[in-house]
Amino acid sequence: MDKGYKTKQKQIILEYIKSSKDKHITAAEIVAHLNSAGTSVGVTTVYRYLDKLVEIGYVRKYNLDEKTGACYQYIKDNEECVEHFHLKCVKCGELYHISCDFMQGIDEHVLEHHGFRIDNTKTVLYGKCKHCHS
Amino acid sequence: MDKGYKTKQKQIILEYIKSSKDKHITAAEIVAHLNSAGTSVGVTTVYRYLDKLVEIGYVRKYNLDEKTGACYQYIKDNEECVEHFHLKCVKCGELYHISCDFMQGIDEHVLEHHGFRIDNTKTVLYGKCKHCHS
DNA sequence: TTGCGTGCAAAGGTTTTGCATGGCA
DNA sequence: TGCCATGCAAAACCTTTGCACGCAA
């Protein structure tokens, strides 16, 4: 999988992402957390390692908000995540995993009728959750 | 709607966005086009006016790709666009607008069964189009 | 030893802000 | 006149790249 060397920095970064697998975190948040934890890691390293993790499929990358930058989520031991859709509340930031027959049918419908193969590891539906309907 | 003054710059910008209503264009593209057309408009003005247009609902803003920046699309006389989904091919970059009964049902389904109101102005489905299925 | 990994600094790109000037009403 | 709009320059962001040094194997 990861052809590279095993280093302390990679270990630390991966560990933190794993522990946040239910959330979307930004590169800046990773750096901030690691620094506040006393384990300093350079920004460059975080970005480069995240890129690699995305490439090999351990991590998913989202572009929700250009102000806060890209978000990342660990998905490796989260296999069921590949099959369903994600809803992200643009107000409170909460991430919902939804998986039901109707939604599963979307993939098939789009592929069959529109010739498009949806990649659920990259797709997130944005909107407002029940708590945030203004 | 637009409480501000009517100026030449606003007129030019709005005109161009209207003429590109089938596409998603970036702020940079607007500036580039207007400059090449001999009608120079400042970058600042474009951003400020776009913000206003988004606010009053004439224009939709997307954050598809952090590399090229945010995309905008005129939707005022384009009501059906509010109702449909967008598919973006991660390989060739092409953007497809899909609109059919099945897809329309997604909004309702998610709202009814999951209490989530999808915002199509922010949502894009990623995958591979028929030309790029490797 | 070999070559990838790291991190600092600098660059690259988009978007925002400060400020003085210009234009609409 | 009063107030908004404009645009330049600079700042503020996030992200990438160049380069020298460090470390894994």
Q: Do domains A5-77 and A80-127 have the same CATH topology?
A: no
Nearest residue in A to B101, CA atom: A109
Only one residue has tokens 């710059």, namely B9
Where does the pLDDT of residue A9 fall: very low under 50, low under 70, confident under 90, or very high at 90 and above?
A: very high
Contact A100 B113 (CB under 8 A): yes
Q: What proportion of chain B, given as a percentage, has pLDDT over 70?
A: 87
Bridge partners, residue B96, by sequence: B87
Q: Is B6 on the interface with A (CB under 8 A)?
A: no
Domain ranges of chain A: 5-77, 80-127
- Which residues in A lie closer than 8 A to residue B116 (C-beta atoms)? 87, 89, 96, 98, 125, 127-130
Given a cut of 90, is residue B9 above it in pLDDT? yes
Sorted by sequence, the CB contacts under 8 Å of residue A66 that are 6+ apart come out as B63, B66, B69, B70
Mean pLDDT, rounded, for A70-78: 83
* A46 sits in which H/E element: helix A43-55
A119-134 pLDDT, tens digit per residue, is 876 777 888 888 887 5
Report the predicted TM-score, pTM, of the whole model to 2 decimal places. Answer: 0.80
Mean pLDDT, rounded, for A61-90: 75
B17-45 pLDDT, tens digit per residue, is 999 887 889 999 999 999 888 888 999 99
φ and ψ of B26, to 5 deg: -95, 165
Q: Find the largest Cα–Cα distance for chain B.
A: 53
The pair of structure tokens assigned to B90 is: 């991660």
Q: Which fold has domain B80-127?
A: Dna Ligase; domain 1 (3.30.1490)
For the structural domain made of B5-77, what CATH number should be given? 1.10.10.10
Only one residue has tokens 């384990």, namely A39
| pLDDT greater at residue B114 or residue A64 | B114
- Which residues in A lie closer than 8 A to residue B64 (C-beta atoms)? 63
Does residue B39 lie within 7 Å of nucleic acid chain D, judged by its CB?
A: no
Structural contact between residues A71 and A95, judged by C-beta atoms closer than 8 angstroms: no
**pLDDT at position B41, please?**
93
- Lowest average pLDDT, out of A24-33, A44-53, A88-97, A109-118, goes to A88-97
Q: Which residue is nearest to nucleotide D22 (CA to C1')?
A: A7
Contact A103 B109 (CB under 8 A): yes
Q: E strands, A47-120, where?
A: 59-65, 69-74, 85-89, 95-98, 117-118
Q: CA A65, C1' C13: Å apart?
A: 16
Given a cut of 60, is residue A81 above it in pLDDT? no
B95-104 pLDDT, tens digit per residue, is 787 877 777 7
Q: By C-alpha distance, which of B52, B62, B51, B53 is closest to B25?
A: B62
Given a cut of 60, is residue B74 above it in pLDDT? yes
Q: Is A95 on the interface with B (CB under 8 A)?
A: no
Q: CA B71, C1' C16: Å apart?
A: 17
Nearest residue in B to A130, CA atom: B115
Helix extents (H) in chain B: 8-19, 27-36, 43-55, 80-83, 101-114
